[in-house]
Every structure is written in C-alpha cells, then in structure tokens.
Amino acid sequence: MRALPAAETVVHLRSGGTSVVVDLQPGSVPAVVHWGDDLGDAPRETLVSLATASRLQRISGGLDRTVRHGIVTTAASGWAGTPSLEGHRDGEGVSAVLAVSDARASDDAIEVDLADSEAGLSARWELRVTASGLVRVRTSVRNDGPGAYTVQALHTTLPLPWEATEILDTTGRHLRERSAQRHELTFGTHLRESRRGRTGADATLLLAAGVPGFGFERGRVHGVHLAWSGNSRIFAERVPTGESFLGAGELYLPGEIRLAPGEEVTSPELLGSWGDGLDELAVRFHEEWRARPQHPARPRPITLNTWEAVYFDHRLPKLIALADAAAELGVERYVLDDGWFRHRRDDTAGLGDWYVDESVWPDGLHPIADHVVAKGMEFGLWFEPEMVNPDSDLARSHPDWILRGRAELPPSSRQQQVLNLAHPDAYAYMFRVISDILTTYPIAYVKWDHNRDLVDAAAGPGGAAHVHAQTLAVYRLIDQLKAAHPGLEIESCASGGARVDLGILDRTDRIWTSDCLDPVERLENQRYTGLVVPPEMMGMHLTTPHVHSTGRTVSLTLSGAVALFGHFGIEWDVTTLTDTDAAAVGDWVALAKRVRPLVATGRIVNADVADPGLDVRGVVAADAASAFFTLTQTQTLISSPTGRVRLPGLDPDRTYRIRIVTPGGIIETPAQSPLEWAHQDTVLTGRQLAVVGVRPPVQNPQQAVVIEVTAI
C-alpha cells in the first residue's frame, strides 16, 4: 500500500467487477461514497466531482455543518445515527471525535488511521475489495489513554443506495433455520441481535436491502454478513439526512471488552456483496470462499450419518450392517453420531467424558472404524467439545470449568452446561482428549456439535461475561486440532444449523444445515443459507421417508432432488431397504456423484417463479457448458398444466440439449398425455431457456424432476 498524500482526497478501489469510492475530505470523517457497480476507469476529476456531489448541505434545524455517515462515526462528532464506537472509562463517558491521522491505499484496498488524543483513543479502518468483488471491512480500536477503556459498541457499516427501500433477512428456530422475512426499510433502525452466545438459529445470515421487489434473478440489492460465531448485532438504518446504511458488529455484553492502556480490539469482518438479484450477490460469497487455500477441494464424499438410524442405541452388529448397506449404496463417509463415549446412554449424561464407553465398545471403536475403512469409506465421529453434562466425571471433578455468572448454574438446556474453553486447563484437557481419539482411530471427519445457547456465561460468580473469549477459544481449538491432524475435516453443527457463519466456516469444511430433513422444509432453508454459504459446504441428506421432525411422509424423488445441489448424504436406516428401494437410493447416489463437480464449482441459480407451489433451481457450470436443474413441486398449482418455467444462467448464445434424468424416470399418469419435449431430442439456446422457458411436467405435490442441460 502506498501512503496517501493529503491532496489525494478521493480513492477509487476496483476489483472483481466492484468499485468502492472513499471520500477523504479534509476536516471531515472519511465516507464511502459508493460500493457496488464497477464505475470503470473514471478520470480523477470525475471522482473528485462524485465525492463533492455526494456531500450534504446545511439544513434548518441542524448543525452548522451537517454530519454525514462516515467510516467510523461517534456521537460527539454530531452524528445522530447509530455510532460506530461507544465506550466509557469506568462509567465516565468519553467524548471521542476521531480524525484521520494517516491513510494508505492500493488499487483494491485502503487503511485509514484515526485518532483522538484528548479521548486517548485511536482506530484503524480497513477495507478491501477482493477478486470476487466482495467488500471486506473491519475496524480496530486502541486505548491510548492512561486508564481502562470499556468498549460498549464497535460497528462497521457500508452505505446503501437511497432507492434500496426493501430489506430481507432471515429468522428461525431449531428445525426451521433461515426463514426469509421482508420489510420496508423505513426511517429508523431495523436491528437484529443475537444474544445466544452462538450464531443462533434465529440469527440472520445476511441482511440485504434492495429496490422494492428484488428477487433472485434481478433487482439491485446490497447485503452484508458478519463473520462471527458469538453474539452479534446487524442492522439497516435510514436517517433523515438522506443516508441509509447496513452495519454490523459483535454484541459486547456489559464489561466484556475492557481495554487496558495500549490494548486494542478488532471487530469481526463485515463482508458486503451486491448484485442484480440475490443470485449474483450470493455468487461473490461462494467464489470468495472457494478461492481460500483451505477450501475443501476434493469431491465431497457421499456421507451416511447414523443419528436418525440408531440414535443412542449403539450396537456393533447393527452399526456394521449399516456400514455394509451404506457401502453397497455408494456411500464414501460413515459418521458415528452421538452416543459412543462414557456414560452417554441418552442425552442426560456424559458430555465432557471423551473416552470410548467400554461398556458399549469393549474393543474401543476399532471394530466399527476398521470395518468402515475396510469397506472403502472414511470414518467420522461426533463430538460436542464446548458442552458438559453436570452428570459427568468432568463436571464432578472440575465444577469451576463450567461457565456461570452466579453460584447456581445457569438454566440448563438438554441437561447440559457450557465448558469454559478460555480456561487454560479446560482448553488443554479438551485438546488432549479429542486429539487422543483422533490419533487412536482412523478419523477423517469430526461432526462438531453445539446444542445449547450460552446463558449467563461468565467465568465464575461475579465474573465478566465470557462469550467473546469463549468464541475465540473455540476458533483456536479448531485451528489447533486441524493443525495437529492434517487432512481432518470438521462439520459445524449446532442443533442443526444454529452456528452458520463465515467465522466458523473459515476453519470448518461444512455445516449441518438443519436437523429438519423434510425436503419440503429444506427448500427454503437451503435457498436462504445458500445466499452466503457455498452449496458444497451445506450438508444435505436423504431423509427417512417418514420424516422424524415433521411426521410428513415424503417420496425418495423429492428427498433426492432437494438434496442434490449440496454435500449429499443419507440420514436413514438403510438396512431396512428392500432391494428395489436400495437400487433406487443407489441411483440417487450415482446422480449426486455426477452432479457434485458442478455443485462444487458452478453457480447456483434460483428462478423467480410465478406459482409458490413450484420451485425451480439449478447449478450451472462455471464455463456454462452444462447445468442441472430441479423442478420441485411442493403443493398443487393454481393452473394445470402450468405455465412455462425459465431455466436462467446459461450462455445466451450457446445451444443446449435438455433432458430429464430423474432416477425412476418421469411420472406420467394415464390422465395426462406425455410431455412432448421430454420424449424427444430437445435443443434450445441459453437465451431461449432464460427468456421463454419450457413447460414443466404436470406433477402431484411432492414430485420433482431433474433436468440435465448440456451444450452441443
């Protein structure tokens, strides 16, 4: 980076089709004037004019100089919106007015140092535009004063176009994570907080704002994600001085961040993306994540997880039979879920005692692990390292390792409490016991679970809140285990999908997207999780036909089609299958193997469809030479046959052959004539597919077809 001379008051950063313009007007807090569409190789004088043209006039009833939305805002500067920084010195307010002390920039990044010597504070704001066009921003604050400074809030923000008046975020709960909700962005603040000590099933993965009615295919939209797995705040704000913005930061509990003189704290990264439609916004996140050196590169192994097949009923013959059946179906990874360690006969006891239960496994896990490996599959194992049951040897011998803010334990959840991993001895114990198991057995994969919120999580009675420290300790433990066991893959699970964020996903290899395996429910869950998470990092499994979490009975076709564009697996007692059913499941596994190279490298597309009962989504190869689409029907449609559906995202100028490749073929009842195009050679251009489309087959609810598209 080069130092910016005082005369250079406007910086234009460009990368990956994204521009960011920063106005460093002397005497004012710098401001991001624009982020989003590439503004091209704009002449310098036009950039200066652009910055000038964005400045605010004085207005009646306001300050003599209208304060704009800057990169690091404070109340003492006259900014009346949500400030970037708030804090105090032992209860005494601090008047902070941060002014630029230094700035550096390159073609795609900028760093601005700000300071207020009177307040004894300095800050650094860093922004970079990446090769995928994502904007990554973070802010650090240092205490330069003589006494301690308690940080109450540290937010990072990015401005919005004024026309972005509709916001989209997600909410949820166990078994229904990431349900979308839309609102008008009115004046004021739309704030989403997560105070669960983990990301949370109800936390929004993305906060997006766009022109009214923006969809997946079109409509200008900007969105931000906070890469953090602890408490968080994320908000959209519209202020009466003609500015609106998206912001986020870690939510600090009272007294949690107390900086001694010379200490500093850095915010989690805010990642911003934009696009004409949500698919374009999502692709930048996917490309960014895929470009990381640690991104799982090899084909995602077809996974069988034992949980819904046996729950806690661990018996070697049954688990061996499950492994045999799985191997026959083409499964490549077998994951032994909860129930293998000492005292864990149900969910009331044992968490913390990470030693193989000799009463259930007299020969250790060797018989099952060796059998799985001999069958050509990888062996995976479940852990829940941050948790402890009061009914465990660990809790009995180290009650002081349990997080609590008062003498009595916090309210329990699933009969469990949280282990203080920032305690050096607890951390060392946990690293040792997990590492020992990983060394003793041929374990390629860990399912890392986290089944309760952190409530009153302090390091002991009367101690300061501990969520920040706990989150960092978990990150450190994962990093250290991965470094000690090269090649180990880790799945982030938290009662299903309650810890889904790019902080955890920077150090793990996939998420368990939801405990709800019902494909009808999974459609929305996976679509909105996919706004940020690349599809190959989302666990998607075939369900037992009688879905455990919803009681609905679903067809294999529906289950298979919905699991196809992700990390495919099975959560089902496949020892119970008839030969015919096993052959059908095997066909889905084979199709998933054919589709997975595209899933791991291609672009996910979601068509904006007229009838809510029909879902059209696909994955298009990066070179647009091929694609797969699913047409999934969740309910009856208003018209029958229904109108054409478009298959977007292909190269408009290429010609493609399309054919239905659903295992089991297309279902046509005698009441309907055959779908003509599906029974002949059908070739269409990418433009025709995107603009005109094809008639979907007449289907009953819970049917689906898979369409393969190949350039000719």
Catalytic residues, by residue number, are 449, 515
Contact letters (x/-) for ligand DGJ, 513-532, by CB under 6 A? --x-----------------
Sheet of 156-159, strand order = 156-159, 243-250, 232-239, 188-194
The per-residue b/e assignment along 273-286, b for 16 or more CB within 10 angstroms, e otherwise, is: bbbbbbbbbbbbbb
**To the nearest whole angstrom, how small is the minimum distance from the Cβ of residue 344 to ligand DGJ?**
9
Contact letters (x/-) for ligand DGJ, 298-317, by CB under 6 A? ---------x----------
Yes or no: say if 501 and 228 are a contact pair by the CB < 8 Å rule: yes
Which listed residue (245, 512, 629, 656) binds ligand DGJ by CB under 6 A? Answer: 512
Yes or no: say if 662 and 557 are a contact pair by the CB < 8 Å rule: yes
Nearer to ligand DGJ, 416 or 634 (CB): 416
Which string of DSSP letters, residue by residue, matches 594-641?
HHHHHHHHSEEEE---SSTTEEEEEEE-TTSSEEEEEEEE-S--SSSS
**To the nearest whole angstrom, how small is the minimum distance from the Cβ of residue 442 to ligand DGJ?**
21
Nearer to ligand DGJ, 312 or 677 (CB): 312
Yes or no: say if 138 and 144 are a contact pair by the CB < 8 Å rule: no
Number of residues that make up the chain: 712
Nearer to ligand DGJ, 311 or 677 (CB): 311
Nearer to ligand DGJ, 288 or 337 (CB): 337
Yes or no: say if 100 and 88 are a contact pair by the CB < 8 Å rule: no
337 lines the binding site for ligand DGJ (CB under 6 A): yes
Q: What span, in angstroms and rounded, lies between the C-alpha atoms of 86 and 246? A: 18
- Contacts of ligand DGJ in 215-244 (CB under 6 A): none
Nearer to ligand DGJ, 496 or 503 (CB): 496
Nearer to ligand DGJ, 512 or 528 (CB): 512
The per-residue b/e assignment along 421-451, b for 16 or more CB within 10 angstroms, e otherwise, is: bbbeebbebbbebbeebbeebebbbbbbbbb
Nearer to ligand DGJ, 313 or 363 (CB): 313
Yes or no: say if 388 and 419 are a contact pair by the CB < 8 Å rule: yes
Residue nearest to ligand DGJ (CB): 338
Strand partners, 153: 86
**To the nearest whole angstrom, how small is the minimum distance from the Cβ of residue 335 to ligand DGJ?**
9
Strands 626-633 and 2-3: unpaired
Phi-psi region of 17 (alpha: psi -120 to 50; beta: other; left: phi over 0): left
Contact letters (x/-) for ligand DGJ, 460-499, by CB under 6 A? ---------------------------------x-xx---
357 lines the binding site for ligand DGJ (CB under 6 A): no
Cis peptide before 641 (omega within 30 of 0): yes
CA 566 to each of CA 50, 224, 516, 529: distance values in angstroms, whole numbers, following the listed order: 43, 23, 15, 11
Nearer to ligand DGJ, 66 or 549 (CB): 549
**To the nearest whole angstrom, how small is the minimum distance from the Cβ of residue 169 to ligand DGJ?**
23
Q: What span, in angstroms and rounded, lies between the C-alpha atoms of 392 and 352? A: 7
Q: Which residue's entry shows tokens 């889905």?
A: 588
CA 530 to each of CA 208, 513, 527: distance values in angstroms, whole numbers, following the listed order: 14, 10, 5
Q: What span, in angstroms and rounded, lies between the C-alpha atoms of 90 and 243? A: 34
451 lines the binding site for ligand DGJ (CB under 6 A): yes
Q: Which residue's entry shows tokens 């190269």?
A: 651
Contact letters (x/-) for ligand DGJ, 364-403, by CB under 6 A? ------------------x---------------------
Number of residues that bind ligand DGJ (CB under 6 A): 11
Residues that bind ligand DGJ (CB under 6 A): 307, 337-338, 382, 449, 451, 493, 495-496, 512, 515
